[in-house]
Amino acid sequence: MDSVSSGFAALNSAAAISSGSGTQDPQLQFSALCGLAIDEFWQTAEAGPVGLGKEELARVLLTVGFKYNYGMPPGVSATRVQIGAFWRSLQLRDLALAHACALGCDAAWQQFMATYKEPLTQAAIGITGSATLGHELADSFYSSMFGLNDGERRSPLAYYSGRGSLKGFLRAALAQRHVDHHRRTYRETSLPADDQTPAPAASASPAPDLLFRLGDSLKATLGALDPEERFLLSSWFLDQRTLLEISRTLSVHEATVSRRIGRLTTRLHKELLANLQASGMSLAAAEEALGTDPRDININLRAALQTSQSAAFSEQGVPAEPERI
């Protein structure tokens, strides 16, 4: 019954979204679909500081959910739980930042430039093989992302879905912009056989070799974690438990849990980069590889994180909690 009712709700929301004339508040549509309030997602996305309102975030999530059928195969209606899980799986902070920028919010653009200007400029230099050309490519790229043309704003950031990292989306868009410029410039000029001008294309899907390396690196990195670290990652990222719930299980303060998760994710990022470089990748290629959508990688993260977890926590006197469904 839940699947049927949420299916009808999804159809009604889709009609309102696509027509742009729906009278129902996006926040109410959001809650009707998943049984959750937009407030939780708005806070997790840190949308307030970048100038994105709750109604705007709800509209973005509804649009993304409808476009990808909430992560379900075509023709299959998602339940409320599945819809909520799909929205939670998105890169919510990146999504809020990108769409706030697309709407022209000054606070969002300040954060965007502070976070991405330097790495994107370096990536542009790497793509063009020239500091001068790299800066020119980066400058034109920022202008295109701003999206203001003849007084009308049409930013490519509005197409970001949050299913992969914003950094990966931007690097792919940057590479594609260079390719497009290269094609326009040399459309009527035959290139010599020994031309070495780099013109990388943004592939629609990751290469199998890249996915294989990523999978191996993830297995090696997660396999080296101790039981408590696995518990933290599984509880926070997979089970969507709150800091309070985790702190009660571990008998520590919420702030302690937050610091541990922060340090752990930073360390995992460095270790993944190191493992990818050990497999033969350059640092730049490894960083770009980490922007791959996790769902493209053939690895069961829950199984990898829960290995020996129950036994280890039982030995420490902390009961292992059953997996949430």
Q: Using the structure block, give the residue that is written with the tokens 């190191």.
A: 274
Amino acid 217 reads S
Q: What's the pLDDT score for residue 246?
A: 86
pLDDT confidence of residue 184: 66
Report the pLDDT value the prediction gives residue 170, as an integer from 0 to 100: 92
Is the pLDDT assigned to residue 92 strictly greater than 50? yes
The pLDDT, as a whole number, for residue 181 is 72
CB 49 within 8 Å of CB 101: no
Q: How far apart are CA 227 and CA 310, in angstroms?
A: 8
Cα–Cα separations (whole angstroms), residue 5 to 12, 126, 323: 11, 51, 26
Specify whether the CB–CB gap between 272 and 191 falls below 8 A: no
Residue 21 reports pLDDT greater than 60: no
Better pLDDT: 322 or 297 = 297
Q: Is 118 exposed, middle or buried (0-12, 13-18, 19+ CB in 10 A)?
A: exposed
Domains of the chain, residue spans: 2-90, 104-185, 208-315
What pLDDT is stored for residue 7 in this prediction?
43
CB atoms within 10 A of CB 258: 14
Entry pTM: 0.54
Q: Which two tokens stand for residue 231?
A: 């518990």
| pLDDT for 67 beyond 50 | yes
pLDDT tens, position by position, 260-269: 888 888 888 8
**Tens digits of residue pLDDT in 276-292:** 888 787 888 777 777 77
Which amino acid type is present at position 203? S
Return the beta strands (E) in the chain as ranges.
148-149, 152-153
Look at 14-18, 22-26, 210-214, 243-247 and tell me which has the smallest mean pLDDT. Answer: 14-18
C-alpha distances (whole Å) from 63 to each of 12, 76, 120 are 12, 17, 28
Instruction: Give percent above pLDDT 70 in the chain.
Output: 75
Q: How far apart are CA 224 and CA 256, in angstroms?
A: 22
